[in-house]
């Protein structure tokens, strides 16, 4: 029986921190996320290939009695990066510490985590793409040789002392692996990319979690929630909670198909799982940029939202759904997006002039 990991963190949880980049109304409380988070690898639904590879890494590490190699998890928000990072130390029966890139502003912020890391323990760094350069350089010898180089004093009297660390594992999570520098990326022995979940997988997650919440749900209602959850377990959990509230307030407490539909309609979630913000993004490209191409900064300015939010939260699913295209000139709506918005796609036989195109970029 594995020991329960000791969790140390200077913040409620890494999730609490990243709520800062979510649009208003999307803030997910860490405690809510935690309630439904799978605790063991066997409870994790979907991501079969990733889970299988993690199993192999775990078995090998246990057999050799060595720490797991550093692991980088990337993928859009809400797909299970934090979940997997928390499951791993639990499976290994080792200690677990949690921090995040933006909260480490200088090497001294990271140092306690490194010196506290016990042999074989896991240090989870969320949003690792937001580590400042100085912290990143400080982490290199820790990852490679389990050593830190501390500079004392400055100028001529400066000297560097090397401190030995226990062999441990860093698990990094990022929604933007492209923003990681190559030296940092290369120090991760394994890299795993999480992808959107299928409707069947999400249906299973909704059913399991309804049981955890002691809520009755019909099979078709679970499938309906799954369908409108943008391939994302966090979304599915949020809609499940909302449908549960709706069922308690407006029905007899059972989430039936009608209850689920009415609940989601009230939140303006359409049959593709798009919400108000997704549609506003599409509408902006359509009406302001006549369907695109439009640069991400221009769209962000027009919508009065950070470009990061669009790139992290809105675009991955729209790309996956084939509603937008990313071209070197900017974002473009596809014919499917026009249809989804109830418009006729423009006649592609009439090419847009070069000057008109470039003027749309700015
Ligand atoms: N494979 C899974 N099976 C069941 N539930 C899952 C799975 N992955 C994620 N979840 C659920 O979705 C919630 C969000 O997942 P998690 O916090 O791990 O996402 P994340 O990738 O870390 O997101 P972010 O980038 O926003 O930090 C979890 O609390 C959990 O309930
Ligand atoms: Mg997370």
What are the pLDDT digits (tens) for 190-241? 999 999 999 999 999 999 999 999 999 999 999 999 999 999 999 999 999 9
Asked whether residue 52 falls in the same domain as residue 185, the answer is yes
**Angle separating helix axes 233-250 and 219-227, nearest 10 degrees:** 130
Distances (CA, A) of 142 to 115, 134, 148, 167, 340: 10, 13, 5, 9, 50
Pair 85, 113 in one domain:
yes
Domain count, the chain: 3
Specify whether 237 is located in the same domain as 283: no
Establish whether 195 is a catalytic residue: no
Q: Ligand 1: does its nearest atom lie under 6 Å from the Cβ of 172?
A: no
Query: Is 2 inside a domain boundary?
Result: no
> Are 89 and 132 found together in one domain?
yes
Do 30 and 173 lie in one domain? The reply is yes
From 139, 160, 193, the end of a domain falls on 193
Asked if residue 153 and residue 39 are part of one domain, the reply reads yes
Is 126 a known active-site residue?
Answer: yes
pLDDT by residue for the chain (362 residues), tens only, comes to 445 555 555 544 444 444 333 343 333 445 567 789 999 999 999 999 999 999 999 999 999 999 999 999 999 999 999 999 999 999 999 999 999 999 999 999 999 999 999 999 999 999 999 999 999 999 999 999 999 988 888 888 888 889 999 999 999 999 998 899 999 999 999 999 999 999 999 999 999 999 999 999 999 999 999 999 999 999 999 999 999 999 999 999 999 999 999 999 999 999 999 999 999 999 999 999 999 899 999 999 999 999 999 999 999 999 999 999 999 999 999 999 999 999 998 876 555 555 455 544 54
Question: How many A from CA of 191 to the centre of ligand 2?
Answer: 16
- In the numeric block, the tokens 């980049």 are attached to 21
58 with 178, same domain?
A: yes
Domain identity same for 178 and 98 = yes
Number of CB atoms found within 10 A of residue 105's CB: 13
Ligand 1 site-directed mutation target among 234, 241, 309, 314, most atoms within 8 Å of CB: 234
- Strand stretches in 16-61, DSSP E: none
One of 17, 18, 81, 331 is an active-site residue; which one? 81
Which of 145, 166, 193 is at the close of a domain? 193
Q: Identify the domain boundary among 235, 266, 297.
A: 266
Sign of the CA dihedral 331, 76, 13, 70? negative
Nearest in space to 286 (alpha carbons), one of 237, 328, 323: 323
Would residue 147 show up in a list of annotated catalytic residues for this protein? no
Rounded to whole angstroms, how far apart are CA atoms 187 and 178? 15
Q: From the CB of 129, is ligand 1 less than 6 Å away?
A: no
For residue 93, the enclosing domain spans: 7-193
- Active-site residue, selected from the candidate residues 37, 90, 185, 234: 234
Q: How far is the CA of 78 from the centre of ligand 2 (A)?
A: 7
Beta bridge pairs of residue 74: 174, 193
Q: Are residues 231 and 327 in the same domain?
A: no
| Active-site annotation holder among 83, 175, 232, 256 | 175
- Establish whether 175 is a catalytic residue: yes
**pLDDT of the residue at 21:** 38
Ligand 2: distance of its center to the CA of 259 in Å?
Answer: 30
| pTM of the complete model | 0.85
Contact 45 CB / ligand 1 (< 6 Å): yes
Evaluate: CB of 44 within 6 angstroms of ligand 1: yes
| Whether the CB of 330 sits within 6 Å of ligand 1 | no
Res 19: pLDDT: 38
17 CB less than 6 Å from ligand 1?
no
pLDDT value at position 14? 43
pLDDT of amino acid 216? 97
90 in catalytic set: no
Residue 18's Cβ-side half-sphere holds a number of Cα atoms within 13 Å equal to 26
| Any atom of ligand 1 within 6 Å of the Cβ of 47 | yes
Same domain, 140 and 84: yes
239 and 158 in one domain?
no
| pLDDT value of residue 255 | 98
pLDDT, residue 155, reads 83
């Amino acid at each position: 029986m594995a020991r329960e990991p000791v969790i140390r963190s200077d913040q409620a949880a890494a999730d609490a921190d990243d709520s800062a980049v979510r649009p208003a109304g999307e803030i997910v409380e860490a405690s809510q996320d935690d309630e439904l988070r799978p605790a063991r690898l066997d409870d994790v639904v979907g991501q079969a290939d990733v889970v299988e590879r993690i199993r192999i890494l775990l078995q090998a590490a246990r057999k050799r009695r060595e720490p797991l190699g550093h692991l980088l998890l990337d993928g859009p928000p809400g797909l299970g990066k934090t979940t997997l990072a928390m499951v791993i130390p639990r499976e290994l029966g080792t200690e677990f510490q949690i921090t995040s890139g933006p909260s480490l502003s200088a090497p001294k912020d990271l140092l306690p985590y490194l010196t506290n890391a016990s042999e074989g323990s896991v240090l989870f760094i969320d949003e690792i793409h937001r580590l400042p350069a100085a912290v990143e350089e400080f982490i290199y010898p820790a990852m490679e040789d389990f050593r830190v180089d501390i500079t004392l004093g400055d100028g001529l009297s400066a000297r560097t002392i090397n401190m030995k660390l226990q062999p441990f594992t860093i698990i990094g999570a990022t929604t933007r692996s492209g923003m990681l520098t190559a030296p940092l990326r290369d120090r991760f022995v394994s890299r795993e990319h999480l992808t959107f979940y299928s409707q069947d997988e999400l249906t299973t997650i909704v059913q399991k979690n309804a049981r955890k919440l002691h809520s009755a749900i019909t099979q078709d209602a679970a499938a309906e929630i799954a369908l409108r959850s943008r391939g994302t377990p966090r979304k599915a959990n949020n809609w499940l909670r909302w449908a549960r509230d709706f069922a308690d307030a407006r029905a007899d407490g059972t989430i039936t198909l009608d209850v689920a539909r009415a609940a989601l309609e009230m939140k303006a979630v359409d049959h593709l799982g798009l919400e108000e913000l997704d549609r506003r993004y599409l509408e902006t490209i359509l009406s302001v940029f006549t369907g695109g191409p439009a640069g991400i900064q221009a769209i962000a300015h027009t919508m009065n939202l950070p470009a990061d939010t669009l790139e992290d939260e809105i675009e991955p699913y729209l790309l996956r759904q084939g509603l937008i295209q990313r071209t070197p000139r900017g974002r473009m709506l596809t014919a499917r997006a026009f249809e989804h918005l109830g418009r006729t796609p423009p006649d592609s036989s009439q090419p847009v002039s070069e000057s008109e195109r470039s003027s749309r970029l700015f």
